[in-house]
């Protein structure tokens, strides 16, 4: 589908397309309440709580006041709705600011000042320097005589360098005073979100041109939210407006990511729900049986002989309402709150502030911080991520002669300087291609100094190097280029530009030399994109050797070539190129095909070598994270040897003999198949050896593998700890992330450029580096950091703390709800299994909202180990990766503890007041007090590091409990009149509290002492060392468990089992993960109480233990 935009014709444009009103609002005043409620009730848990609340309105079955459920439910919904309303209001304010900006628009041949929201498709919009572009425009004219203007696109794509935009060729030469009278039609596609592509055609009406089609590309457009820079004025016709602009189409709420912790909480919630149904059925049946057998014998029970048909449902439904608090209604709000605090901790972390670029760390996604602590694979870009992206021209090879090999700096090589001074033809041609075959913009200051604005750091380095060698690009005005060679200005006319694409991997320029009228094709690109197209008679062996040699030094290489064109050959090709440029269907493919017709028989001029140094701290960061059991994959567009050298220098892989590199290469399916099978066989054999094995694959072979041998490659991915993927495209990067996610690994992708965005968005966690390629990756990511080295702290400190805190908070939330629920169930056994509630409605509501929530929320400040210890001993991240703090087994411990504490509270309370004449409310308050006291000690016992705020939250909350209940007891209408006053005066009450705490906490503390003394984990030992104040001992490596390996080579069509065998797991001698996941139940005995971090078994999972250099650690068992 396409649209026709009639330029400067108000009648044809009127009401056909939308106006320029921007609306990012999610709600309106009328639909906010129903739409927000619909969204909230689309979640299962909210539907469940609504059902419970509605059942409590039935007075026959409700054991408590409906307010005990409706109050918290309305409060939670109100909090969520208020947050949504506030966010939407801020969007509304932002929209109004953009919509009410004033812009100049041509109306009926006259320029008028109107609001931006009133712009219509087809209107001509005039912009002044530094104005923001209000909608998507096709450029018609600029203040520059050559029709050039400069725009800043940082708000659109994050790239900070200025970009050149030019008017269409059809508009060249039209006087500025005639632009407001211009008429024509633009044929363009329907709106889309691709900010790098615009395939359209322009036809101007007479008298401006003779109806020829003029192709339009993205270089002829000014997109919404860009800024006009270094240009006095520019004008263009609106083609896309409002929410139909490319930026508007790109807006939207990203799909939420589900963390492993959230997934586990959902499973545990489902298990509790099933348990609740079983309890309801059993107790409901028992209640009906007791009612029909025993209850009718009691004189005080006035059951009628015959009841309504639904009578059999009354008692089960009562128990359903009693047991509904098993699933804590506040858990989602609590988790959202603490996750927001985790994100703020990242934003506030001064240790992750990059002083060089004044860039703080930032958490864009506030919901996945705990996933940082469970990362198993990091997929990283190379340039700008591991390296500084500060390109320095170091060496070159021109016509087989190497420059800069001795000094390491070709710019200081006297041989090269003499060749330039003597105007050596080979060197001059080489430098000429370096200087003008690019997209660099030279900008001359008032003082005459020239600065360069480049979209690519490579091009910037080449242009600066050429200028240093007296071949300076001094002016780029429209189609005219000027270079200064040793003081002589040479002009070239740019006839056509064959733009770089990730598929072609080269860029070419067709220029005409004004001195002799010759037409020349200039090309630069990767070696595999240039060498195959060399002229048949040229010897390229020296250039191939140069590329290999420079790659061995870790340098980035580019090959330069040229060809002189005959005029008739160019004219014939130009017609095909123009036709390809005007097609609206498959324009990119057609252009690539036409470009290849010209880019052949090239004369190779030479090879450039550019250094891109490693960022500070990269080797140390990778080494530390590898010790933490994290596997690394490098995904880069560089050539193989360069990537390997960078990998060696940054501890990505180990040199021989400890390390081994396995290559997957080939150009055909058979070659790639044999190579893959050989690598897979070697990997299977070496998995039992303490050797660092990595595989290397290039983009060509990777494409074949992903299309034809995906299952075998998946097995290789599982077996391999390290991989280097070279010459890969952005789409291949995303495919590799998806492949690892399909193996049930938690992946983190990190990059700095626009080509990394797809990979970052595909990964479980995306991290963007605010680098020299702009902010596009950082904006698309869940987290942004200034340097790669901050990744270590982001994962080991913030990720680990977030996981530990969330694991405790979620399990404790279930625990406190289960305790009160189990007491209600136990009470039913002495109340005729009737579903009567022991606690009143006010107590139940206060218990969930006030008494137990505040102490646990301050767990966000808890640290089981200091940050220094965590950074020194990264192996302990293993507990988080394996999910050892939150899994069905640890939850069973909390479940058992809640049942035990409920028994303690109920039995001690009942026996303490069995012989006394106590009111129901009095018994209820004693039991509730016992719960509050126990949970204060539980939180204290689970807290590792105390601050003043935590003490206030725990013990202050206990004091507030008594203050609130004393106040309520003083109100005659509250139903608890004088209850708390009487209890506090009774010694038996305080003795009951003392016995409850001693009996409830005694076994828990004894078990914890036993574990710390006789079954200490690495974390326990580190905690003891910290508390003793002595030096922290070294942790050993993970002990490798024996593994059975099938030595037989399976065919390439490998069928992976759903549950993976340890044979497929990555290994490394110094890795904390020898066996990641194995099938079968744990060998550890079932634990009744919550498991401390020392227990390293989880349901369906086994990991090797951490061995420490102490006698205690040898007693670790699974």
CA dist 234 and 150 (Å) reads 10
Contacts of 15 (CB under 8 A, 6+ apart): none
Q: Is the peptide bond before 507 cis (omega within 30 degrees of 0)?
A: no
CB neighbours of residue 181 within 10 Å = 13
C-alpha 182: how far from chain center = 47
3-state SS assignment for residue 774: strand
118 tagged catalytic: no
> Alpha helix locations (H) across 743-877?
757-762, 776-780, 790-793, 800-828, 841-846, 853-857, 867-872
How do strand 488-498 and strand 506-513 relate by DSSP bridges? antiparallel
Q: How far apart are CA 69 and CA 56, in angstroms?
A: 8
Count of Cβ atoms closer than 10 Å to residue 75 Cβ: 15
DSSP letters for 412-456: G-HHHHHHHHTT-HHHHHHHHHHHHSS--EEEE-TTS-EEEE-SS
One DSSP character per residue, 125-193 reads EEEETTPBP-SEEEEEEESSTT-EEEEE-HHHH---SEEEEE--GGGTT--GGGGGG--EEEEEEPP--
- CB neighbour list of residue 717: distance below 8 Å, 6 or more residues apart: 723, 739, 740, 743
Instruction: Provide the Cα torsion 818, 822, 824, 829; round to 10°.
Output: 170
Nearest-CA neighbor of 637 among 773, 743, 744?
773
Contact 869, 944 (CB under 8 A): no
- Per DSSP, 775 falls in state S
Collapsed DSSP state (helix, strand, coil) of residue 661: strand
Three-class secondary structure of residue 354 per DSSP? strand
3-state class percentages of the chain: helix first, strand second, coil last, to nearest 5: 45, 20, 35
The span from the CA of 246 to the CA of 195, in Å, is 6
Residue 236, φ and ψ in degrees, nearest 5: -160, 165
Are 768 and 781 in contact by the 8 Å Cβ rule? The answer is: yes
| Distance, CA of 587 to CA of 579 (rounded, Å) | 10
Bridge partners of 228? 151
126, β-bridge pairs: 104, 235
Instruction: Exactly one of 381, 692, 752, 764 is catalytic; name it.
Output: 381
Q: Which uninterrupted H or E stretch holds 678? A: helix 669-686
Q: Which residues contact 233 (CB under 8 A, 6 or more apart)?
A: 126, 127, 128, 129, 142, 143
As a whole number of angstroms, the distance between CA 997 and CA 1008 comes to: 16
DSSP classification of residue 953? I
Cβ pair 561, 506 in contact under 8 A: no
| Contact present, 1017 and 1103 (Cβ < 8 Å) | no
Pair 627, 792: CB distance under 8 Å: no
CB 377 within 8 A of CB 740: yes
DSSP 369: G
Please give the distance of CA 484 from its chain centroid, rounded to a whole number. Answer: 47
Using only C-alpha atoms, what is the Rg of the chain? 36
Catalytic residue numbers, as ranges: 381
């Amino acid at each position: 589908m396409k649209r026709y935009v009639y330029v400067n014709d108000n009648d044809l444009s009127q009401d056909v397309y939308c106006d320029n009103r921007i609306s990012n609002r999610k709600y309106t005043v009328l639909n906010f309440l129903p739409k927000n409620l619909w969204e909230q009730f689309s979640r299962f848990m909210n539907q469940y709580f609504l059902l419970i609340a509605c059942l409590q309105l039935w007075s026959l079955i409700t054991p408590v006041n409906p307010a005990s459920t409706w109050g918290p439910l309305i409060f939670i919904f109100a909090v969520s709705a208020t947050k949504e309303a506030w966010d939407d209001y801020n969007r509304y304010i932002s929209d109004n600011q953009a919509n009410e900006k004033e812009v100049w628009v041509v109306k009926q041949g006259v320029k008028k000042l109107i609001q931006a929201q009133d712009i219509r498709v087809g209107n001509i919009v005039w912009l002044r320097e530094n104005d923001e572009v209000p909608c998507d425009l096709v450029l018609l004219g600029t203040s520059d005589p050559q029709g050039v203007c400069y725009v800043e696109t940082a708000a659109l794509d994050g790239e900070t360098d200025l970009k050149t935009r030019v008017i269409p060729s059809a508009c060249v030469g039209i006087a500025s005073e005639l632009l407001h009278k211009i008429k024509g039609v633009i044929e363009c596609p329907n709106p889309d979100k691709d900010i790098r592509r615009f395939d359209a055609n322009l036809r101007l009406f007479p008298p401006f041109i003779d109806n020829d089609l003029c192709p339009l590309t993205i270089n002829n457009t000014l997109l919404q939210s860009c800024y006009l820079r270094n240009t006095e004025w520019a004008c263009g016709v609106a083609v896309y407006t409002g929410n139909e602009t490319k930026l508007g189409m790109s807006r939207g709420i990203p799909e939420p990511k589900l963390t492993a912790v959230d997934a586990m909480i959902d499973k545990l919630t489902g298990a509790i729900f099933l348990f609740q149904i079983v309890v309801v059925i059993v107790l409901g049946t028992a209640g009906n049986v007791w009612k029909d057998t025993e209850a009718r014998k009691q004189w005080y029970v006035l059951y009628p002989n015959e009841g309504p048909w639904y009578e059999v449902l009354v008692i089960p439904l009562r128990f359903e309402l009693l047991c509904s608090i098993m699933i804590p209604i506040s858990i989602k709000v609590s988790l959202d709150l603490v996750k927001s605090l985790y994100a703020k901790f990242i934003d506030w972390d001064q240790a992750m502030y990059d002083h060089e670029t004044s860039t703080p760390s930032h958490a864009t996604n506030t919901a996945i911080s705990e996933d940082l602590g469970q990362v198993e694979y990091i997929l990283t870009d190379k340039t700008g991520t591991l390296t500084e992206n500060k390109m320095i021209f170091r060496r070159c090879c021109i016509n087989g002669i190497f420059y800069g090999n001795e000094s390491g700096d070709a710019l200081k090589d006297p041989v090269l300087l003499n060749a330039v001074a003597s105007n050596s033809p080979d060197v001059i041609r080489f430098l000429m291609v370096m200087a003008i075959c690019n997209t660099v913009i030279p900008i001359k200051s008032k003082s005459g100094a020239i600065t360069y604005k480049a979209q690519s750091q490579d091009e910037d380095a080449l242009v600066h190097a050429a200028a240093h060698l007296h071949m300076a690009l001094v002016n780029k005005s429209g189609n005219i280029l000027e270079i200064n060679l040793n003081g002589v200005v040479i002009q070239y006319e740019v006839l056509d530009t064959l733009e770089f694409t990730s598929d072609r991997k080269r860029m070419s320029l067709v220029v005409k030399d004004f001195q002799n009228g010759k037409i020349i094709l200039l090309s630069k690109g990767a070696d595999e994109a240039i060498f195959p197209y060399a002229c048949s008679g040229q010897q390229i062996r020296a250039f191939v050797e140069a590329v290999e040699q420079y790659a061995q030094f870790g340098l980035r290489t580019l090959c330069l070539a040229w060809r002189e064109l005959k005029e008739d050959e160019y004219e014939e090709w130009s017609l095909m190129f123009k036709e390809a440029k005007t097609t609206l269907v498959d324009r990119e493919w057609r252009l690539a095909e036409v470009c290849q017709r010209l880019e052949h028989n090239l004369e190779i001029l030479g090879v450039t070598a550019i250094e891109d140094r490693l960022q500070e701290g990269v080797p140390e960061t990778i080494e530390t994270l590898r010790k933490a059991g994290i596997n690394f994959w490098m995904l880069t567009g560089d050539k193989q040897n360069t990537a390997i050298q960078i990998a060696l220098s940054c501890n990505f892989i180990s040199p021989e003999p400890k390390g081994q590199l396995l290559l997957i290469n080939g150009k055909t399916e058979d070659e790639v198949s044999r190579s893959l099978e050989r690598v897979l066989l070697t990997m299977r054999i070496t998995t039992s050896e303490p050797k660092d094995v990595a595989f290397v694959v290039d983009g060509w072979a990777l494409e074949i593998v992903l299309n034809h041998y995906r299952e075998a490659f998946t097995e290789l991915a599982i077996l391999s700890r390290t991989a280097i993927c070279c010459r890969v495209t952005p789409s291949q990067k995303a495919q590799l992330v998806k492949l690892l996610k399909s193996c049930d690994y938690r992946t983190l992708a990190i990059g700095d450029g626009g080509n990394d965005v797809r990979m970052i968005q595909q990964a479980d966690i995306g991290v963007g580096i605010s680098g020299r390629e702009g902010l596009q990756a950082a904006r698309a990511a869940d987290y942004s950091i200034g340097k790669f080295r901050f990744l270590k702290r982001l994962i080991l400190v913030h990720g680990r703390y977030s996981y530990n805190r969330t694991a405790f908070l979620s399990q404790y939330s279930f625990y406190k709800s289960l305790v009160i629920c189990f007491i209600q169930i136990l009470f039913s056994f002495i109340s005729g299994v009737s579903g009567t509630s022991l606690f009143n409605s006010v107590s139940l509501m206060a218990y969930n909202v006030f008494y137990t929530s505040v102490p646990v929320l301050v767990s966000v400040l808890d640290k089981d180990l200091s940050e220094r210890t965590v950074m020194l001993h990264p192996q302990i991240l293993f507990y988080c990766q394996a999910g050892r703090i939150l899994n069905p087994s640890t939850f069973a411990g909390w479940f058992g503890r809640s049942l035990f504490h409920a028994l303690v509270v109920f039995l001690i309370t009942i026996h303490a007041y069995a012989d006394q004449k106590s009111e129901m409310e009095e018994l209820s308050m004693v039991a509730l007090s016992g719960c509050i006291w126990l949970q204060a000690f539980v939180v204290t016992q689970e807290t590792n590091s105390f601050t003043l705020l935590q003490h206030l939250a725990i013990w202050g909350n206990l004091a507030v409990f008594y203050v609130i209940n004393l106040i309520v007891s003083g109100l005659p209408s509250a139903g608890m009149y004088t209850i708390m006053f009487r209890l506090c005066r009774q010694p038996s009450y305080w003795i009951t509290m003392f016995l409850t705490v001693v009996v409830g906490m005694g076994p828990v503390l004894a078990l914890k002492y036993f574990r710390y003394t006789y079954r200490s984990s690495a974390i326990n030992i580190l905690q003891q060392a910290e508390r003793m104040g002595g030096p922290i001992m070294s942790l050993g490596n993970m002990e490798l468990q024996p593994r059975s390996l099938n030595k037989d080579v399976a065919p390439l069509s490998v069928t992976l089992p759903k549950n993976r065998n340890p044979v497929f797991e990555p290994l490394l001698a110094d890795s904390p993960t020898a066996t990641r996941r194995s099938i079968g139940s744990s060998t550890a005995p079932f634990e009744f109480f919550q498991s401390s971090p020392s227990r390293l078994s989880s349901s369906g999972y086994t990991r090797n233990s951490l061995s420490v250099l102490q006698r205690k650690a040898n007693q670790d068992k699974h």
